[in-house]
Amino acid sequence: MKIAVTGAAGQIGSRLCEDLARDSEVVRIDVRGDADPVDVLDLERLTRAVAGCETVVHLAGKVAVKASWEDTHENLIGTYNAFEAARRAACKRVIFASSNHAVGMYEVDGAPQIYEPGSGVLLRPEVPIRPDGLYGVWKTFGESLGRYYCDEYGLKVACLRIGAVRKDDTPEPKDYSQEATWLKLTDDQKRKRMRAVWMSQRDLARLVRAIAASDVPFGIVYGVGDNATRFWDLEAGRALYGFWPLDGVK
């Protein structure tokens, strides 16, 4: 399989590309580090870059929960370009890296009790969208755009509402001062939050692989580990793609 990954040099993209390259041809698309970089804001070059790929994994974008409109606007354009380039190049599917922030206001309302065992909160993918910032608005835009490209053009689309996939691949960072800065939490509450929302890098790669091997027309699933205090439902991933995480915090 030939797979294109935008944002290939990023925190998630770099490790994902390494995993996928074990048995697939991976086209790494990023504005940094390549002799001939492809910017996702350039539709024509992006279309040429994904030509011949079966799957496009769209990770690229400026990441900040409280993003400015300027950054959000670029992310919107880049996401449109990813779907349109996949359509023009006759790719089979797009896997869109959405985010838990598409429904982040549920967490804002429920914190910090939502991180406790038996909180009673388990959000399914079909709950009404409630972004907690313009970053989340971008992600809901991508999900809606994916639904349109699926229905209008027959493109297979999967939207992954990713929790916390960390560079150090641990739910227990040494320093919590820079974690979840958009929420008013103590360090202990941040620790509990990370244990609820963490997903391992290998499980994210396994989820991408499961989707790439499927023929499901459209799906929205949560990218989170099998954590005892998670507040996002994993059943859609199992029902649609036969996926269940191997890793989790008990």
Domain ranges of the chain: 2-241
Summarize pLDDT for 138-176 with one digit per residue, the tens: 999 999 999 999 999 999 999 999 999 999 999 999 899
C-alpha–C-alpha distance, residues 75 and 53, integer Å:
22
Q: Which of 27-36, 44-53, 59-68, 239-248 has the lowest mean pLDDT?
A: 27-36
C-alpha–C-alpha distance, residues 14 and 198, integer Å:
18
Q: What is the DSSP string of the chain?
A: -EEEEETTTSHHHHHHHHHHTTTSEEEEE-SSS-SS---TT-HHHHHHHHTT-SEEEE--S---TT--HHHHHHHHHHHHHHHHHHHHTT-SEEEEEEEGGGGHHHHHHHTTGGGSTT----B-TTSPP--SSHHHHHHHHHHHHHHHHHHHH--EEEEEEE-B--TT--SS-S--TTSSTTS---HHHHHHHHHHHB--HHHHHHHHHHHHT---SEEEEEE----TT--B--HHHHHHH----S----
The pTM for the full model equals 0.96
Mean predicted confidence (pLDDT) in 74-90: 97
Per-residue pLDDT for 34 more than 70? Answer: no
Per-residue pLDDT for 187 more than 50? Answer: yes
Band the pLDDT of 30: cuts 50, 70, 90. Answer: confident
Write down the pLDDT at residue 36. Answer: 55
| Pair 169, 200: CB distance under 8 Å | yes
With CA atoms as reference, report the closest residue to 171 among 205, 188, 196. 196
Cβ-count burial 146-174 (b if 16+ within 10 Å, e if not): beebbeeeebbbbbbbbbbbbeeeebebe
C-alpha–C-alpha distance, residues 159 and 20, integer Å:
18
| Pair 99, 159: CB distance under 8 Å | no
| Pair 146, 221: CB distance under 8 Å | no
Band the pLDDT of 181: cuts 50, 70, 90. Answer: very high
| Pair 127, 143: CB distance under 8 Å | no
Mean predicted confidence (pLDDT) in 184-192: 96
Angle 134-153/69-88 helices, nearest 10 degrees? 20
Summarize pLDDT for 88-105 with one digit per residue, the tens: 999 999 999 999 999 999
% residues pLDDT > 70 (the chain): 97
Write down the pLDDT at residue 208. Answer: 98
Which CATH number does the domain 2-241 belong to among 3.30.70.20, 3.40.50.720, 3.30.420.40, 3.40.630.30? 3.40.50.720
**Average pLDDT in the chain:** 95
- Which positions are annotated as active-site residues? 135
